[in-house]
Amino acid sequence: MPEKKKLYNIARSFGSASESYDISARLQRYSGKNLMPWLPNRNDLTVLDLGCGTGFFTDILATRYQQVIGLDISSKMLNFSKSNRSDDIFWVEANAYKLPFADQSIDLIYSNLMIQWCESLVSLKKEINRVLKPGGLFIFSTLVDGTLFELKSSWGQVDDDKHVIDFKNESELELIFNTEDSKLIDYSIRDIVLEYENVLHLAKELKGLGANQVPTKQSKGLAGKDKWKKMMQCYQDFLEPSGIYPATYKVFSGLMVKLND
């Protein structure tokens, strides 16, 4: 699939979820708040919320910093943000690989659970470094390998198709962010287990998160009824005694600094 087409599909997926996104954003709330202790205490900074979504955390950033920009690829998400967030925020619709900012113009880039949807993190990180000032920070969270292992295991017993996105592992992220021009100065990994009433509840929330984009999926459209039924039966292997269905999200939170030229 051409890059432009993939980007359109991602934008459409997130845009269609804009009205319900904040309702099904338990994971984003948790991961985003865990990034807060790393935020600089200075308020005279230009800050970019990369992949701002509905602007929930952009709004919080705007209470702390002088100039805050919310950037997203989805126009529907941005329209929601403009209508529901602070008037002091500057909203930008753009591709994360081609940020519409001058070299060394941003002090801090905040990004909560967005970069896992980017196919080339090397290209993304290069663009982040371009716009960051020397000594600038990239504070981010992302999902890593081990996320949704229950769902992946259940589908693996049904067919060989790819139903769950492959996430990078800890070592891969270290290699990407520890380079000659940047250093990953701190990071943590947490398992967040969310509970669901049933597998359909999980599927609905994943759609709300925009997590239904699998680039290498062989078949198009929804899996057949029989496959879904078998997958849900397999998922019962993980069923808790209380009758709740768990889903594990492995969240990597990182603090990167751009080194001086």
DSSP structure string for 95-108? -TTS--S-TT-EEE
Residue 95 to residue 101: CA distance in whole angstroms: 12
Residue 105 corresponds to which amino acid?
S
CA distance 33 to 23: 16
In the chain the first and final C-alpha atoms are separated, in Å, by 37
Q: Which residues pair with 96 in a beta bridge?
A: none
pLDDT of residue 165: 86
The Cβ-side half-sphere exposure at 247, using a 13 Å CA radius, reads 21
The 3-state DSSP class for residue 184 equals: strand
* pLDDT score recorded for residue 10: 36
Tell me what pLDDT residue 179 has.
96
Q: How far is CA 79 from the centre of its chain?
A: 19
Q: Are 109 and 52 in contact (CB under 8 A)?
A: no
Tens-place pLDDT, residues 154-175: 999 999 888 888 899 999 999 9
CA geometry: angle at 254 spanning 60 and 50, to 5°? 45
Residue 98 phi, psi (nearest 5): -135, 75
CA distance 234 to 162: 16
- How confident is the model at residue 204, as a pLDDT? 82
Percent residues over pLDDT 90 in the chain: 69
Instruction: Give the model's pLDDT for residue 119.
Output: 86
163 within 8 A of 218, measured Cβ to Cβ? no
pLDDT tens digits in sequence order for the chain, 261 residues long: 334 434 444 334 344 444 445 445 788 889 999 999 999 999 999 999 999 988 999 999 999 999 999 999 989 889 999 999 999 999 999 999 999 999 999 999 999 999 998 989 999 999 999 999 999 999 999 999 999 999 999 999 999 888 888 899 999 999 999 999 999 999 999 999 999 999 988 888 887 665 655 544 445 444 588 999 999 999 999 999 999 999 999 999 999 999 986
pLDDT in tens, 124-164: 999 999 999 999 999 999 999 999 999 999 999 999 888 88
Contact 201, 147 (CB under 8 A): no
- Tell me which fold the domain 3-258 belongs to: Rossmann fold (3.40.50)
- Helical segments of the chain, H only: 3-16, 18-21, 26-35, 56-62, 75-84, 121-131, 149-156, 170-177, 199-208, 225-235
